[in-house]
Chain A
Amino acid sequence: MNVFLNTIFNGIIAGSWLAATAVGFVVLWKSTKVFNFAQSYFMLLGTYLFATLDAKYAWPLALIAAAGITVIIAVLCHWLFMRNLVGASLFIPVIATFGIGTLLEGAVGLFWGPDDRQVSVPLYNIHYRVGDVHISGAQLSGLCITAVWIVVVILFLRKSKVGLQMRATAENHSLAGLAGMPVRSILVLAWAIAGASAAIAGITYTQQQGIESFDLANVGLLAFPAIIMGGLESVEGAVLGGLAIGLVDAFVITYWDPNAQFAAGYLVLFLFLLLKPQGLFGERVYDRV
């Protein structure tokens, strides 16, 4: 087999769910200026919901339902904990998202216990071979689902009226409110998109593994290097950052040491923080005096 080509393909697959996770982060940051450390735990919640529903229903239905429930939980978290922190200093909402993450982790443990769960692997009996590159139905399915979701989010933000309002709200809540934009609804929508992105990322990742475990919450942390690399202000940058980090991870695992996977990703994060902190597509902020 051609190890190099297969590694590239594996990296793209890994990058696809990282990109979906990163998109959720960035949409929420752009709209609310909240860096959501609970995003990984929304992934965890979404996948455990999926594992439960998947045992009873066809997996596409289970995916939609699990994502929907995760959206509801995300909106509830905003409504209960975050909406009163809008406009607060950066530190307080971040701490609040840590708290939300802890609550979600505890809730998942309470309802489902610590044990791992099996999930359906879509199209598990379908395999393709393009030259030396092996492609499975599950990988294609995951890639398609995350790609469709990412495209929908980008088009929504770019082309729709509500998307334009979200971008305006991200610039300045007060002005957007004065201009008659439904700021509160937009914040709710941002949390909904973040929740859905997390659930879809977590479910597609889990489906490719065939098994769901509590370690998924740590897995989501790999999205941070993707966000910093792409730029906090750019959804497209988050996508490219996710794909790039996926490729970095794949090459580290294949050619070096699986234990270095996280370290490599965070090395990229620190390099960008040192050299290009705004990321590849972020906006550089200048203070003029």
Chain B
Amino acid sequence: MEIQITGNTGLFRWRRCLHGLAVLSALLIATTACGTSSNPSGTNSANGTLTGSAYKIGVPCALSGPDANQDLPIVHGMETYAYYANHHGGINGHPVQILTDDSQADVATESADYKKELSEGALAIASCNSSAVAANVSYFNSNKVPVVSTSTVSSWYAPGANYSYIFSVSPSNEELAPLMVAYIKKALGANQGGGKVARLVDSIASAVALAQSWSQVGSGLSFSSTQSIPSTQTDYSSTATSVLGQHPIAMMTALTPVQQAPFDLALQNQGGWTQPWIGIFSAGDTDLKDAPSTYAALRYWETPTESAPSAKALYALALKAGYASSTDLESFWFSAGWVEAGAIITAMESCKGTCTSQGVDTGLENLNSNFLGITAQSRTTPTNHIILNSARVYAWDSSTSSAQPLSNFINLDPAPTSYTGKIAGQAS
């Protein structure tokens, strides 16, 4: 008689199957736990992978729709900076990760995205939409979340204003002018009385007002009359001739990228420039001259000589990172994103131990302590929330016939080829 064992056989097979699954799961969990173990100090492993937990920055922006033209370059600028940081050891071994969601520039959507990204572990927020920031100030305050923005709404940044966690990387004329003048004075040293400082600015009211602010600082420097350059300027060679013909001892500029590039080229064509020079980008909003201006002042342009390391290296870096197209790099908003990320990542570098939102906030509060080697004289207490990390300082290098950066910005040396760019625990 043949006995067929049913039911119990199936159950027995199922139990063996379950045991196998349990063992396999345990192995998988153990492996995963080892791979993602939080290491406060973080290290670079032998293959270049950063092993610390990711430091996340949330940046909800319009990734599609009519505002994407402006917002996408912001995100790409931030991702490029993060890429750069991750290729240079991360932040004490922790990789930087940019979280973004498509808010379509809608305040309600962006408000929800802030909360989402913070729940996903973002330590700070970079803003694409000042209206959304304004609508969520109470939330940021109560949750102690630092927010960096390129907008300048004067009331936000006044000492004592209840925008304790909002920072701007766009200094107003009143903030920027004394520091730019102080830099020129320091660069001139004993030669301050040897002539006049040339001023060349975009013709919009805010840039002209900045030029006036330079001479109103009371520095003792002598300034030539301001040359304001309209957007329709056709002959930059004559502008350069005019500036050089005055034999200035230094130069201060606030031009748009479209003005700056041909002016630099024209200077180069007429023998170059050897004196101190501080310049920022004019971002071109048309506030009245007494109102703060919006400047995102990273000077990124690519000189035709292709020897300015900042611009060329940034270009190569961004393309290698795959985070930007050539049109991004020609957008003012790419530099805005770059500067926002720069402020947050620099603040993260000052975290003691594992970074938290409060640590980032403290870092941002202290970011102004050493601007271009000059103590920020305009800081007041309570803390001034205008971050002055964005002005490019440069001087003419006759050996390369190009403007070379002098400031203590990050040195955009080529990324090491051995680094894989992977963040531990992430699928490749």
A residues neighboring B (CB under 8 Å): 1, 3, 6-7, 10-11, 13-14, 55, 113-118, 120-121, 124-125, 127, 129, 134-136, 138-139, 205, 208-211, 213, 215, 218-219, 222, 246, 249-251, 253-255, 257-259, 261-262
Contacts and interface: CB of A to CB of B under 8 A. Distances in A.
A14 B241 CA distance: 14
A55 B326 contact: yes
Contact of A209 (B203, B227, B262, B302): B262
B312 to A, nearest CB: 11
A259 B203 contact: yes
Interface in B190-245: 203, 227-239, 241-242, 244-245
Contact of A211 (B227, B235, B258, B271): B258
A6 B69 CA distance: 41
Interface of B: 69, 203, 227-239, 241-242, 244-245, 257-258, 261-262, 265, 268-271, 301-305, 326-327, 330-331, 401
Given A6-B245, A124-B305, A134-B270, 20 more contacts: A1-B244, A3-B242, A3-B244, A6-B241, A55-B326, A115-B327, A117-B326, A117-B327, A125-B305, A127-B269, A139-B237, A139-B269, A210-B303, A250-B235, A251-B238, A253-B242, A254-B238, A257-B227, A258-B230, A259-B203
Contacts of B401: 125
A1 B234 contact: no
A51 B270 CA distance: 25
A138 B331 contact: no
A124 B307 CA distance: 12
Contact of A115 (B265, B302, B331): B331
A1 to B, nearest CB: 6
Contacts of A261: 230, 232-235
Contact of A116 (B238, B244, B258, B304): B258
Residue with the greatest number of chain A CB neighbours at <10 A, chosen from B238, B331, B401? B238
18 contacts: A1-B271, A10-B237, A13-B237, A113-B69, A113-B327, A134-B271, A209-B265, A210-B303, A211-B301, A213-B258, A218-B232, A249-B235, A254-B242, A257-B227, A258-B227, A258-B228, A261-B235, A262-B232
Given A10-B241, A262-B232, A138 B262 contact: no
Contacts of B244: 1, 3
A215 B261 contact: no
Given A14-B235, A116-B330, A218-B232, A3 B203 contact: no
Given A210-B265, A219-B232, A258 B239 contact: yes
A40 to B, nearest CB: 12
A209 B236 contact: yes
B239 A116 contact: no
B245 A254 contact: yes
Contacts of B238: 7, 10-11, 14, 249-251, 253-254
Contacts of A211: 257-258, 261-262, 301
Contacts of B302: 118
B69 A114 contact: yes
Given A209-B262, A210-B304, A215 B241 contact: no
Residue with the greatest number of chain A CB neighbours at <10 A, chosen from B203, B232, B236, B261? B232
B392 to A, nearest CB: 17
A137 to B, nearest CB: 9
Residue with the greatest number of chain B CB neighbours at <10 A, chosen from A115, A129, A135, A136? A115
B203 A249 contact: no
Contacts of A215: 231-232, 258
Contacts of B330: 115-118
B269 A136 contact: yes
A258 B229 contact: yes
Contacts of B301: 211
Given A1-B271, A118-B302, A139-B269, A10 B235 contact: yes
Nearest to A222: B234
B270 A3 contact: no
A256 B170 CA distance: 33
Nearest to B315: A118
A219 B326 contact: no
Contacts of A134: 269-271
B180 to A, nearest CB: 22
A213 to B, nearest CB: 5
A139 B269 CA distance: 9
- The 3 residue pairs across chains A and B that have the minimum distance between CB atoms: A209-B262, A136-B269, A3-B245
A192 B331 CA distance: 34
A165 to B, nearest CB: 35
Contact of A254 (B241, B258, B271, B326): B241
A219 B235 CA distance: 10
B229 A209 contact: no
Contacts of B303: 210
Contacts of B235: 10-11, 13-14, 246, 249-250, 253, 261
A171 B237 CA distance: 41
Contacts of A213: 258
A114 B228 CA distance: 23
B304 A121 contact: yes
Nearest to B237: A10
B239 A253 contact: yes
B46 to A, nearest CB: 39
Nearest to A112: B327
Contact of B245 (A1, A14, A210, A262): A1
Contacts of A124: 265, 304-305
Contacts of A246: 235
